[in-house]
């Protein structure tokens, strides 16, 4: 059995790579049908993922014994690195999420990207991404995870900059790549600390040796190592202060945003943190919780004032990722992973819906020959509900899910996280109230801005009648993924539990227990969690409905004037804080880029004036003089005397000796005979 | 005529005549004839040494017969070369055959 699952996992890993290679090599020959190939390949990885899911989750009943098969890769006396595949319930769920969303995005893209001049390359990059993402999910060691981590970064770079003719896209891809590098350096250092302390990269073995006391007496080192590895997640999952790349990454095609920058790649950071969770110390966890809370709240506040439909979703993604990280920090390990999965579904749905809206807007503007109006600006939308019913209902369901309304998946996972936050507060009190407030505050603001998006896009009067008239519902390849994902945003899918308020179900059950080896008392935590469950749920329900109600007062009933509130907020400097994204980009600009560029300017001047002009050039002049002198020596002495002398000597002898070569055979013969006579005479003398 | 000297003298006269012919003649056929004289001088030496050298077997005779055969073959090849020479340059004067001279 294990072998079959192992081969299925290997196929899941490598089939997308095959798709990548085939798209780049033979797909051109297939003509119109070229996109069937990646669809078929990713479709088969989906089937294989569901097969593994069936074995691990349905037949495993939460008692599945993890499969781990690995092979040595680099083996020296000082270092041995192996690559291997680790399959447990978390892996199998994550594989399904990646394959499913990847498949739906492939399907969606066949319509969305139709007519693009780099259509085949787009699918090739999607294949490369899916390969690397599956690699992260299946990796059994931090080292292998790191390899695929970088590959994911590469494919993200390629896809953000897919329309590299646009400067903004090219810059966004560079920004994403470089910002991620900052996190990855931390991750690498952390990985190395763990390796030198435990002698292995294998995650389960690290957990084992931490439990066995590899860090006894140096818990601070373990805290550092954990936080450094977590830095990789900060970069990849766009946590404060490295979150700045994700909003810019929306320059890529929208299906890519759905797949990479909402559902899977950005969740890789959370997934990795879930994997290393057992050996994160309490100190590390508090830092993680604080970072997550800050990110969740800050991104939610920024999202309020975005007008670009994708920017709202981008900041909402950052905020939700902050939620997951916060959940990990407070120890709500299952909640974090649960939210990862539910978020992947509803956020992919939201992004694909926004893509559908943008697609429709784009076509409408195209028909009107309008190249000035921004198809992504919500101020140009409104009333689209009647024109695009499928998109509307799908988006509404996903929005209800993200806002945390009962019956929808987001409610269950958010509730778990908030219960974790509440029990964390009860356990430690003091400063942890910040995390509590951020958790509930972000939930409130999320409900507010998500319904703002819905109201501005789909309700009310159309802002522009001309555009409105030309809007059409998107074709089937785009709406089918929306329907599938909106169905998966229903809460019942994740519990099979008739009580919509109860999160216990197959998901919760199959993850099993986690052994925490670095100090967190999971049993005590479980008790607090049980007590916090209902209070947290009521509180989260209240904040969600408050958010929705406030949003509808603003944007649906128009009871409160947006302008008035904006001006009040402006007078309190609060509006601009959100409008200009807490000035973080500006801060980076002023404290990082500008000093750096100034420093570059100074060093470049130093280099040119001092080093180049003075030092190098003087060496150059000396060399020139020397070569002049040696040229003269060479010509006058070597050339004229030695070489020419040798020639003249040869010529002289040539003049003398050439007469002996008469060319007449008799002469030679004569010489031969005389020679013999001479020899005979000589011998006679002797 | 029962001593070896007289044979050797005859042979060396013959040899010298041959060499003289080879060296002085310009006609290729005359050169060839000189070579034949040299070979026959050698033959006489072989026979003479066989007879006066106290040998019981006929080694010298066999050698002489070999050389005669060899001379015949050599004459055939050389004459063929000379005919070709004549065809190409219209003469058998060896001084004229100097196309390969650098």
Span A399-440, pLDDT tens digits:
988 888 888 888 888 888 888 888 888 888 788 888 888 888
Q: How far is A670 from chain B (nearest CA, A)?
A: 6
Q: Express each pLDDT in A137-189 by its tens digit.
A: 999 888 899 999 999 999 999 998 888 888 888 888 988 898 898 899 999 99
One-character DSSP codes across A134-183: HHHHHBSBHHHHHHHHHHHHHHHHHHHGGGTTSHHHHHHHHHHHHHHHHH
Q: Which chain A residue has the Cα nearest residue B27?
A: A666
CA angle A127, A130, A135 (to 5 degrees): 130
CA diameter of chain B: 54
Chain A closest-CA separation from residue B21 CA (Å): 10
User: Which of A673, A674, A676, A680 best probes binding to B when mutated, by most B CB atoms within 10 angstroms?
Assistant: A673
Question: Residue B23 and residue A669: Cβ atoms within 8 Å?
Answer: yes
- Among B70, B74, B53, smallest CA distance to B62 is for B70
Tell me how close the Cα of B56 comes to any Cα of chain A, in angstroms.
Answer: 30
Please name the residue of chain A whose CA is at the shortest distance from the CA of residue B23.
A666
Task: Tell me whether residues A673 and B94 touch, CB distance under 8 A.
Answer: no
Q: What is the mean pLDDT of residues A553-557?
A: 80
First to last CA, chain A: 104
Instruction: Indicate the residue of A663, A664, A669 with minimum beta-carbon distance to B22.
Output: A669
Task: Look at phi and psi of residue A464 and say left if phi exceeds 0, alpha if psi is from -120 to 50, else beta.
Answer: beta
Q: Of B19, B22, B95, which has the smallest distance from its Cβ to A664's Cβ?
A: B95
In angstroms, the separation between the Cα of residue B95 and the nearest Cα of chain A is: 7
Residues of chain A with C-beta less than 8 angstroms from the C-beta of B95: 664
- Calculate how close chain A gets to B28, using CA atoms only, in Å: 11
Whose CA is closest to A133, among A35, A15, A54, A238?
Answer: A15
- Name residues whose C-beta falls within 8 Å of residue B76's C-beta, 6 or more positions apart in sequence: none
Q: Name which of A664, A667, A671, A677 to mutate to probe chain B: the one with the most chain B Cβ atoms within 10 A of its Cβ.
A: A664
**CA separation for the pair A168, A176 (Å, rounded):** 12
- The arithmetic mean of pLDDT across residues B20-34, rounded, is 89
In this predicted structure, the answer to whether residue A506 has a pLDDT above a threshold of 80 is no
- Predicted confidence at residue B64, as pLDDT, reads 92
Region A90-106 average pLDDT:
90
Is the Cβ pair B94, A663 closer than 8 Å? Answer: no
At residue A533, the pLDDT reads: 80
Write out the residues of chain B at the interface with chain A, using a CB-CB cutoff of 8 A.
19, 22-24, 94-95, 98, 101
- Tell whether the model's pLDDT for residue A551 goes beyond 70: yes
Residue A3 has pLDDT above 60, yes or no: yes
Beta bridge partners of A83: A71
CA–CA distances in Å: residue A477 to residues A259, A345, A440: 16, 18, 38
* Confidence check: pLDDT of B102 > 60: no
Tell if the CB–CB gap between B24 and A666 is shorter than 8 Å. yes
Q: Between A and B, how many residue pairs show a Cβ–Cβ distance under 8 A?
A: 14
Residues A514-524 have pLDDT tens digits of: 777 666 767 67
Residue B101: closest C-alpha in chain A: A663
pLDDT level of residue A623 (50, 70, 90 thresholds):
very high
What tokens were used for A46? Answer: 């989906």
Q: Which residue on chain A is closest to B96 by alpha carbon?
A: A664
**Contacts of residue B24 in chain A, CB cutoff 8 Å?**
666
Chain B partners within 8 Å of A654 (Cβ): none
Which of chain A's residues have a Cβ under 8 Å away from the Cβ of B93? none
- Any residues with CB less than 8 A from the CB of A150 and at least 6 apart, and which? A184
Q: Quick one: closest CA in B to A671, which residue?
A: B23
Sign of the C-alpha dihedral computed for residues A253, A255, A258 and A263 taken in this order: negative
Do B23 and A664 make contact, defined as CB atoms within 8 angstroms?
Answer: no
Q: Which residues of A touch B98 (CB under 8 A)?
A: 663
Residue A646 distance to chain B (closest CA, Å): 24
The 8-class DSSP code of residue B93 comes to B
Reading the block at residue A471, the tokens are: 């809007």
Our CA-based measurement puts residue A666 at a distance from the nearest CA of chain B, in whole angstroms, of: 5
List, in order, residues 6 or more apart from A280 with CB less than 8 Å away. Answer: A226, A230, A273, A288, A328, A518
Of B60 and B55, more confident: B60
Q: How confident is the model at residue A47 (pLDDT cuts 50, 70, 90)?
A: very high
Q: Which residues of B touch A664 (CB under 8 A)?
A: 95
Distance from CA of A618 to the nearest CA of B (A): 57
Average pLDDT of the segment spanning A202-208: 86
pLDDT, one tens digit per residue, over A628-664 is 999 998 888 888 888 888 999 999 998 888 887 776 7
**Considering only CB atoms, which chain B residues are within 8 Å of A666?**
22-24, 94
Question: What pLDDT does residue B73 have?
Answer: 94
> From the CA of A682, how many Å to the nearest CA of chain B?
19
Of residues B23, B94, B95, nearest to A670 (C-beta): B23
CB contact (8 A) between residue A666 and residue B22: yes
Q: Is residue A225's pLDDT more than 60?
A: yes
B-chain residue closest to A662, CA distance: B101
**Residue A216: how many CB atoms within 10 A of its CB?**
9
Nearest to A355 by CA among A383, A385, A319, A395: A395
Strand A67-75 relative to strand A80-87: parallel, antiparallel, unpaired? antiparallel
Note whether B22 contacts A663, CB cutoff 8 Å. Answer: no
What does the pLDDT read at residue B101?
62
Which of B22, B24, B101 has its CB closest to that of A663? B101
Mind listing the pLDDT tens digit for each residue in A437-475?
888 889 989 998 898 888 888 887 777 777 777 788 888
pLDDT in tens, A361-376: 888 888 888 777 777 8
Cα angle, residue A448 at apex, residues A442 and A453 outer, rounded to 5° = 120
Q: What is the rounded distance in angstroms from the CA atom of residue B45 to the CA atom of residue B22?
A: 20
Contacts of B23 in chain A (CB under 8 A): 666, 669-670, 673
Average per-residue pLDDT for chain A? 85
- Note the pLDDT of residue A649: 92
Contact A418, A540 (CB under 8 A): yes
Give the phi and the psi of residue A117 in degrees, each rounded to 5. Answer: -75, -20
For A462: left if phi > 0, alpha if psi spans -120 to 50, otherwise beta; the answer is beta
Q: Name the interface residues of A facing B (CB cutoff 8 Å).
A: 663-666, 669-670, 673
Chain A closest-CA separation from residue B2 CA (Å): 26
Q: Is the ipTM of this complex over 0.85?
A: no
What's the CA gap between B58 and B55, in Å, rounded?
8
Chain A residue closest in CA terms to B21: A666
Q: Within a 13 Å sphere around the CA of A209, how many CA atoms are in the beta-carbon half?
A: 15
Looking at chain A, the whole-number percentage of residues with pLDDT higher than 90 is 15
User: Residues A613-619: what's their mean pLDDT?
Assistant: 88
Going by C-alpha positions, the residue among A263, A234, A260, A239 that lies closest to residue A160 is A260
Partners of B101 on chain A (C-beta within 8 Å) are: 663
Residue pair A310/A376 in contact (Cβ under 8 Å)? The answer is: yes
Share of chain B above pLDDT 70, in %: 96
Task: Please give the DSSP secondary-structure letter assigned to residue A432.
Answer: G
**A654, A660, A665, A672: best to mutate for the B interface, most B CBs within 10 A:** A665
pLDDT digits (tens, 9 = 90+) for A237-272: 888 888 888 888 888 888 888 888 888 888 888 999
Q: What is the pLDDT of residue B39?
A: 93
Q: Looking at CA atoms only, how far is residue A639 from chain B in angstroms?
A: 30
Q: Searching chain B, which residue's CA lies closest to the CA of residue A673? A: B19
b/e sequence A658-671, b meaning 16+ C-beta within 10 Å: eeeeeeeebeeeee
Q: In B, which residues are within 8 Å of A673 by CB distance?
A: 19, 23
Encoded tokens for A61: 């009943």
Contacts B96 to A, Cβ<8 Å: none
Indicate which of B19, B23, B37, B101 best probes the interface with A, i.e. most A CBs within 10 Å of its own CB: B23
Shortest distance between the Cα of B96 and any Cα of chain A, in A, equals: 10
Residues of chain A with C-beta less than 8 angstroms from the C-beta of B19? 669, 673
- Asked if A663 and B98 come within 8 Å (Cβ–Cβ), the reply is yes
Q: Torsion angle of alpha carbons A447, A453, A457, A463, nearest 10°? A: 120
Radius of gyration of chain B (CA): 17
């Amino acid at each position: 059995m294990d072998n079959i699952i192992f081969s299925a996992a290997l196929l899941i890993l490598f089939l997308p790579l095959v798709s990548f290679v085939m798209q780049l090599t033979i797909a051109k020959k297939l003509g119109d049908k070229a996109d069937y190939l990646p669809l078929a390949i990713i479709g088969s990885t989906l089937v294989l993922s569901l097969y593994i899911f069936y074995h691990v989750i349905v037949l495993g009943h939460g008692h599945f014994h993890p499969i781990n098969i690995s092979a040595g890769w680099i083996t020296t006396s000082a270092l041995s690195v192996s690559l291997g595949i680790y399959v447990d319930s978390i892996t199998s769920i994550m594989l399904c999420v990646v394959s499913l969303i990847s498949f739906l995005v492939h399907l969606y893209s066949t319509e969305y990207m139709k007519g693009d001049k780099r259509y085949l390359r787009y699918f090739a990059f999607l294949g490369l991404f899916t390969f690397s993402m599956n690699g992260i999910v299946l990796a059994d060691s931090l080292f292998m995870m790191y390899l695929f981590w970088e590959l994911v970064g590469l494919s993200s770079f390629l896809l953000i900059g897919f329309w590299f003719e646009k400067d903004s896209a090219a810059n966004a891809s560079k920004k994403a790549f470089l910002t991620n590098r900052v996190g990855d350096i931390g991750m690498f250092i952390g990985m190395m600390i763990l390796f030198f302390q435990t002698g292995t990269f294998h995650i389960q073995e690290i957990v084992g040796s931490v439990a066995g006391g590899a860090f006894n007496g140096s818990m601070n080192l373990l805290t550092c190592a954990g936080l450094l590895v977590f830095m990789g997640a900060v970069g990849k999952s766009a946590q404060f202060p490295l979150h700045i790349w994700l909003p810019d990454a929306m320059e890529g095609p929208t299906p890519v945003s759905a797949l990479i920058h909402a559902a899977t790649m950005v969740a890789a950071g959370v997934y990795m943190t879930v994997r290393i969770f057992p050996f994160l110390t309490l100190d590390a966890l508090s830092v993680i919780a604080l970072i997550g809370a800050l990110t969740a709240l800050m991104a939610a506040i920024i999202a309020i004032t975005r007008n670009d439909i994708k920017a709202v979703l981008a900041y909402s993604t950052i905020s939700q990722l902050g939620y997951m990280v916060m959940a990990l920090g407070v120890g709500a390990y299952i909640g974090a992973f649960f939210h990862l999965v539910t978020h992947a579904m509803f956020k992919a749905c939201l992004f694909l819906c926004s893509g559908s809206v943008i697609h429709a807007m784009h076509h409408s503007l195209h028909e009107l020959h309008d190249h000035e109006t921004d198809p992504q600006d919500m101020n140009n939308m409104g009333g689209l509900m009647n024109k695009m019913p499928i998109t509307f209902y799908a988006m509404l369901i996903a929005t209800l899910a993200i806002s945390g309304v009962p019956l929808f998946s987001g409610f269950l996972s958010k509730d778990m996280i908030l219960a974790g936050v509440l029990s964390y507060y009860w356990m430690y009190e003091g400063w942890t109230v910040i995390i509590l407030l951020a958790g509930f505050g972000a939930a409130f603001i999320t409900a507010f801005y998500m319904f703002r998006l819905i109201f501005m896009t789909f309700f009310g009067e159309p802002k522009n009648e001309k555009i409105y008239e030309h809007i059409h519902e998107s074709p089937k390849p785009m709406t089918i993924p929306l329907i599938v994902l909106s169905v998966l945003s229903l809460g019942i899918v994740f519990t099979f539990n008739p009580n919509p308020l109860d999160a216990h179900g197959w998901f919760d059950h199959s993850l099993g227990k986690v052994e925490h080896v670095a100090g967190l008392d999971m049993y005590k935590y479980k008790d607090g969690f049980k007590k916090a469950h209902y209070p947290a749920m009521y509180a989260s329900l209240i904040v969600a409905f408050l958010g929705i109600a406030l949003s509808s007062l603003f944007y649906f009933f128009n009871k409160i004037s947006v302008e008035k509130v904006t001006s009040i907020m402006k007078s309190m400097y609060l509006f601009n804080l959100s409008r200009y994204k807490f000035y973080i980009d500006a801060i980076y600009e002023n404290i990082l880029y500008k000093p750096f560029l100034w420093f570059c300017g100074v060093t470049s001047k130093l280099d040119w004036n001092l080093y180049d002009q003075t030092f190098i050039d003087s060496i150059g002049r000396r060399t020139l003089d020397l070569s002049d002198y040696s040229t003269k020596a060479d010509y006058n002495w070597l050339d004229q005397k030695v070489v020419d002398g040798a020639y003249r000597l040869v010529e002289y002898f040539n003049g003398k000796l050439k007469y002996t070569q008469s060319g007449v055979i008799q002469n030679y013969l004569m010489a031969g005979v005389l020679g013999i006579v001479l020899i005979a005479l000589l011998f006679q003398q002797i | 005529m029962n001593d070896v000297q007289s044979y050797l003298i005859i042979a060396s006269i013959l040899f010298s005549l041959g060499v003289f012919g080879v060296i002085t003649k310009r006609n290729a056929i005359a050169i060839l004839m000189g070579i034949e004289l040299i070979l026959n001088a050698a033959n006489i030496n072989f026979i003479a040494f066989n007879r006066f050298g106290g040998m019981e077997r006929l080694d010298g005779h066999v050698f002489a017969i070999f050389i005669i055969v060899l001379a015949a073959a050599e004459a055939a090849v050389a004459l063929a070369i000379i005919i070709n020479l004549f065809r190409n340059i219209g003469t058998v004067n060896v001084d004229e055959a100097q196309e390969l001279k650098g």
